[in-house]
């Protein structure tokens, strides 16, 4: 099993003292090798390795879904549908419990 983690990215177009945040889309990160691990532990791991922030930029988790090992992300499926191949695969991070 894998965990597909959906993120939101925001960028600060202002300054740290006067922020002006803009949403910049997001990405899907695939956590591989979760096996029969407890979902709360996998989500805690995903938070540690995926979420990042500073005064000018941040990425945070907005959703997730447990998928089979061979499941493609929506972005990868779109690439196959329109280009016939995957040229930009989603990031895959192995789970270490």
For 4-41, write each residue's pLDDT tens digit: 999 999 999 999 999 999 999 999 999 999 998 999 99
pLDDT in tens, 43-58: 999 999 999 999 999 9
pLDDT for residue 71 is more than 90: yes
pLDDT for the residue numbered 97:
72
Instruction: Tell me whether strands 57-67 and 28-32 are parallel, antiparallel or unpaired.
Output: unpaired
Instruction: Sort strands 57-67 and 52-53 into parallel, antiparallel or unpaired.
Output: antiparallel
Structure confidence at residue 21 (pLDDT):
98
What domain count does the chain have? 1
The parent domain of residue 33 ranges over 2-94
């Amino acid at each position: 099993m894998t965990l597909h983690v959906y993120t939101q990215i925001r960028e600060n177009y202002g300054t740290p003292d006067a922020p002006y945040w803009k949403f910049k889309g997001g990405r899907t990160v695939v956590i591989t090798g979760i096996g029969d691990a407890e979902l709360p532990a996998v989500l805690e791991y995903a938070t540690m390795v995926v979420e990042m922030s500073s005064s000018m930029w941040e990425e945070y988790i907005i959703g997730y879904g447990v998928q089979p090992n061979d499941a493609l992300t929506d972005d990868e499926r779109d690439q196959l549908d329109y280009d016939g191949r995957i040229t930009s695969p989603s990031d895959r991070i192995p789970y270490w419990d």
